[in-house]
Amino acid sequence: MRWLQFAARNLQRNRRRSLVALFITALGTAALLLAGGFAAYTFDALEQVAVRGSGHLAIGTPQQFEDDESMPLQHGLDDAAGLGARLGRDPAVRHVLPRVEFSGLLSNGEKSVGMVALGIDVAAEVAAKGRFLDVVEGAMPTAGEGARDGAGGWVLLGKELAHSLRAHPGSRLTLLATGTRGTLATMAVTVRGVIATGVPELDKRQLYTDLGTAQRLLGTQRVSSLSVFLRGMEDVAPARERLSALLPGLAVRDWQAQAGFYDSVRALYHRIFGVMGLVIGVIVVVVVANAMAAAVVERTREIGTLRALGTLPGQLLGALALEGLILGGGGALLGAGVSVSVAGLLRAFPVQMPPPPGYGVGYPLRIDLDPLPVVVTVLAMALLALLASAWVGRRTVRRPIVEALAHL
């Protein structure tokens, strides 16, 4: 404790220099923590988007995930209801959603536009995800609505697709797609609503319809895949192992394998923030080393005097290292405090970010700070400052006493 007090008093000799080093260390720490917190929030948001889209697990035939289909639902699943019942017995499974994916044309009688369609069970989707679509016109269909419509089913259109066909809720359109036998199939459908996905390119092609309509159009009872929603992310790995053993002939893929963009974005962010952390670390080391080098030069004769009085070089080196520790640790704690305050303010007063490339809507700016990264960052900054101070003072404390006393 005495040496710590001694180091703190030495830093007060040149307060301006010490405050500059403290401020730059705090600024670097805050920048690093805020950037890391933003990355953590981004990863969490991408996970939620991926899971809401495909579920925690996706189950299908191996060919469904690996090969292209020459006919719609060529690699689809038979007896989806039976498979869903078997999957539902697993304690971690909350919901099993059948999906039918297909593409084709949508016509208003005068114009036909290419579309990408997804047949869903509305009741199951709502039970699993709540409000999962942003309906800007019309309303979400009710459970069983398509089955009661003898002339066809309902569709939800992306807003750009609806605009292209001049369609509104209540409009009658025609679905055209290649059936499972290779023949062209058509079906009259009613526009139930217009949706906005947030991705302009997707809004030009996206179409949702009920599962029964999709199967009647394609002439099959198969589904493309089953999306499995679990209790939480921690159940993904064990549930995947159990379900793979339960269904040996089928492929069980987790959400990360389905969301190829997630690994790419994560790798990009790691590279960006890795370089950023390296640059900030170098800046902190240089600033602290420069401050300590100036202090050591000014106190060379004092160091010689202490040596002549019997102070050991190791004790002096420890005192100089403690000065660096105070600068680095104090600045890092100050930066961590600033980061936590900024994260709290962003939650209390939300800031809307502009839309990212390829999207039509923005998103709230948030910083997610976990205790462990904050503690590790503060300790790393303090350690870097300590090592920089020790490295700067190592030669001076070992100079011959006569040379140190004669230093000008």
pLDDT digits 0-9 by tens, 189-213: 999 999 998 888 889 999 999 998 9
The helix/strand/coil state of 197 is coil
Q: Do 175 and 268 belong to one domain?
A: no
Is 346 among the domain residues? yes
Q: Do 198 and 291 belong to one domain?
A: no
Is 87 among the domain residues? no
Is 55 among the domain residues? no
Per-residue pLDDT of the chain (408 residues; tens, 9 = 90+): 677 777 777 777 778 888 888 888 898 899 889 988 998 898 888 888 888 888 999 999 988 888 887 788 888 898 888 999 999 999 999 999 999 999 999 999 889 999 999 999 888 888 888 888 889 998 888 766 654 444 568 999 999 999 999 999 999 999 999 888 878 888 999 999 999 988 888 899 999 999 989 999 998 899 999 999 999 899 999 999 999 999 888 999 998 888 877 888 888 888 888 888 888 888 888 888 888 777 777 777 777 777 787 778 777 777 788 888 888 888 899 999 999 999 999 988 888 888 776 676 778 888 999 899 899 989 988 888 888 888 887 777 777 776 766 665
Is 154 among the domain residues? yes
Q: Do 379 and 277 belong to one domain?
A: yes
Partners of 118 in beta bridges: 101, 208
Q: Do 119 and 37 belong to one domain?
A: no
Q: Do 201 and 108 belong to one domain?
A: yes
Is 227 among the domain residues? no
**How many residues does the structure list for the chain?**
408
Q: Do 288 and 401 belong to one domain?
A: yes
The DSSP 8-state label assigned to residue 77 in this structure reads B
Q: Do 217 and 280 belong to one domain?
A: no
With residue 50 as reference, give the H or E element that holds it: helix 15-54
Q: Do 176 and 303 belong to one domain?
A: no
Count the domains in the chain: 2
The helix/strand/coil state of 181 is coil
The DSSP 8-state label assigned to residue 42 in this structure reads H
Cα separations (Å) of 135 from 61, 99, 174? 33, 20, 21
- Inter-residue contact 114 to 105 (CB < 8 Å): yes
Please report, in angstroms and rounded to a whole number, the separation of the first and last CA atoms in the chain.
31
The DSSP 8-state label assigned to residue 13 in this structure reads G
Q: Do 199 and 299 belong to one domain?
A: no
Can you say how many angstroms the Cα of residue 167 is from the centroid of all Cα atoms in its chain? 36
Q: Do 385 and 298 belong to one domain?
A: yes
Partners of 117 in beta bridges: 102, 207
Q: Do 400 and 272 belong to one domain?
A: yes
The count of C-alpha atoms lying within 13 angstroms of the C-alpha of 215, restricted to the half-sphere facing its C-beta, is 19
pTM: 0.79
**Residue that finishes a domain, picked among 222, 254, 279:** 222
Q: Do 283 and 376 belong to one domain?
A: yes
The helix/strand/coil state of 176 is strand
List phi, psi (to 5°) of 168.
-140, 165
Residue 318 lies in domain: 2-49+262-405
pLDDT tens-digit readout, 16-51: 888 888 888 898 899 889 988 998 898 888 888 888
Q: Which sign does the torsion angle of CA 76, 78, 79, 85 carry?
A: negative
Can you say how many angstroms the Cα of residue 176 is from the centroid of all Cα atoms in its chain? 38
Is 65 among the domain residues? no
